[in-house]
């Protein structure tokens, strides 16, 4: 068997998964039917097929069909070649010579010349920007998660593309900080025909910045099914400047079961992600969390699933190969001008009674996917965040004026609802804008 670098990489990538390592250990007892392997693990047949495809393509496992079942066994030639490779590395290390060129350490250092150093500089200059796309339905906590990531990467050069359906980008005001390179794209989904070109152009422009990482926070109603098509357009505009490093989908443990039943967007976000992060797990029971995890797995049989609170996902994902969890083919997005929800903003100059504003919000909640903004209430300036039936307030810096953004479930009809409820309950001058 030819044991070249390409084969080595494929083999070791297949081994970089805890489940697949366990499957190899099971197969040491001899050939096993897929049904027997399934008995050991708590996942579905498609998930097993995904893992076995990785192992067989890497040559670590052999497969044979018999009737409706597939039988698997270890490929000892590949395993011996892998073992021999590490043995040779250990021997070369103990003898202090380079396994790649065969030179000793002293010979290697003497042969270093300026052309080698120049080549290394060129390689560093051509290093690609690691690109992550953050998805998740409205109110799942994407901005909070991104703030945590920015805190963890404070010593690195990071860029942000922030996408919002409304005219006013509330989240960008929360994210702004010194030294952060950020672009805002509003009034639609970056995956919709209405913003696709602007998104590709923004990616191309961002590639000119001196950054190591670029995080794209998409709108909560974004369907990323066509991300590959957009990245191909970026290659035409700017060259092969990005290393697509993964789509991370944030799931709201509290509201997910209701959202997934009503919105195809949630289905697509999960289907095309490489890691699903279930947020707000402190607000649900173990039974409800189990139901959420089981449902996520129905939509994506292969992605990693993590659980967290306050959107904290740490930094380990930065060193992991999320793209190995790619399984869904690129497809046409469901985001279009026809399916774009109506968004409205309410602007107010003055101080409003908190109890009246809350009563007003309770009236509008059934008609809106999401409500958020900044408001001057009688207890000070507050960041207002409405997800499902929950209204949260957080003190914030003063703004030029108060504003709330509404993403409608009922189309333009929400304009009348907002106007009449505000006049009846708050009864202070305000302005509504598209």
405 is a domain residue: yes
| Residues 313 and 402 grouped into a single domain | no
Q: Which of 1-5, 168-172, 361-365 has the lowest mean pLDDT?
A: 168-172
Last residue of a domain, one of 45, 62, 77: 77
Instruction: Give which of 18, 67, 61 is closest to 40, Cα–Cα.
Output: 18
- Contact indicator for 407, 165 with CB cutoff of 8 Å: yes
Per-residue pLDDT band for 84 (boundaries 50, 70, 90) equals confident
| CATH number of the domain where residue 305 is located | 3.40.50.300
Looking at residue 57, the DSSP 8-state letter turns out to be H
C-beta atoms surrounding 107 within 10 Å: 12
| pLDDT tens digit sequence for 383-392 | 999 988 899 9
**365, 290: one domain:** no
Top-confidence residue, 414 or 103: 414
Rounded to the nearest integer, the mean pLDDT of the chain is 88
Mark whether 165 and 264 lie in a shared domain.
yes
Whether 305 and 372 map to the same domain: the answer is no
Would residue 111 count as lying in a domain?
no
Whole-model pTM above 0.95? no
Of 17, 48, 77, the residue that ends a domain is 77
C-beta of residue 300 within 8 angstroms of C-beta of residue 268: no
> Are 138 and 263 members of one domain?
yes
- The domain total for the chain is 3
Are 169 and 289 in a shared domain? Answer: yes
Give the structural domain span for 132.
Answer: 127-325
Mean pLDDT across the stretch 177-202?
86
287, 138: one domain: yes
Three-class secondary structure of residue 182 per DSSP: strand
């Amino acid at each position: 068997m030819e044991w070249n670098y390409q084969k080595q990489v494929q083999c070791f990538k297949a081994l970089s998964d805890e489940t697949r390592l366990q499957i190899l250990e099971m197969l040491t007892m001899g050939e096993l039917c897929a049904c027997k392997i399934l008995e050991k693990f708590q996942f579905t047949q498609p998930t097993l097929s995904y893992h076995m495809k990785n192992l067989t393509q890497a040559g670590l496992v052999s497969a044979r069909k018999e009737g409706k079942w597939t039988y698997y066994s270890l490929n000892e030639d590949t395993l011996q070649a892998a073992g021999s490779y590490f043995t040779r590395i250990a021997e070369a290390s103990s003898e202090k010579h380079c396994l790649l060129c065969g030179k000793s350490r002293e010979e290697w250092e003497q042969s270093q010349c300026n052309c080698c150093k120049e080549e290394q500089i060129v390689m560093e200059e051509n290093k690609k920007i690691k690109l992550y796309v953050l998805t998740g339905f409205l109110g799942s906590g994407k901005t909070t998660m991104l703030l945590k990531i920015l805190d963890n990467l404070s010593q690195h050069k990071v860029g942000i593309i922030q996408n919002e359906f409304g005219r006013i980008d509330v989240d960008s005001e929360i994210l702004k900080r010194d030294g952060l390179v950020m672009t805002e794209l509003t009034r639609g989904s970056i995956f919709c025909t209405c913003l696709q070109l602007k998104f590709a152009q923004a990616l191309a422009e961002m590639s000119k910045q001196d950054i190591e990482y670029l995080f794209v926070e998409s709108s909560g109603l974004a369907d990323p099914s066509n991300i590959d098509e957009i990245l191909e357009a970026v290659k035409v505009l700017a060259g092969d400047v990005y290393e697509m490093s993964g789509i991370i989908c944030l799931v709201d443990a509290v509201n997910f079961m209701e959202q997934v039943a009503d919105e195809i967007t949630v289905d697509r976000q999960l289907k095309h992600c490489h890691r699903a992060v279930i947020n707000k797990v402190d607000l649900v029971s173990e039974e409800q969390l189990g139901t959420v995890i089981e449902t996520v797995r129905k939509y994506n049989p292969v992605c990693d699933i993590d659980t967290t609170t306050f959107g904290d996902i740490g930094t380990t994902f930065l060193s992991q190969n999320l793209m190995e969890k790619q399984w869904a083919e690129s497809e046409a997005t469901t985001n279009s001008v026809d399916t774009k929800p109506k968004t409205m903003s309410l602007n107010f100059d003055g101080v409003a009674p908190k109890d009246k504003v809350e009563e007003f919000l309770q009236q509008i909640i059934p008609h809106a996917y999401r409500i958020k903004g900044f408001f001057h209430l009688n207890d000070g300036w507050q960041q207002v965040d409405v997800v499902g039936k929950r209204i949260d307030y957080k003190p914030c810096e003063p703004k030029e004026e108060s504003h709330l953004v509404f993403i409608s479930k009922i189309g333009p009809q929400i304009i009348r609802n907002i106007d009449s409820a505000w006049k009846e309950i708050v009864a202070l001058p305000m302005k509504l804008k598209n």
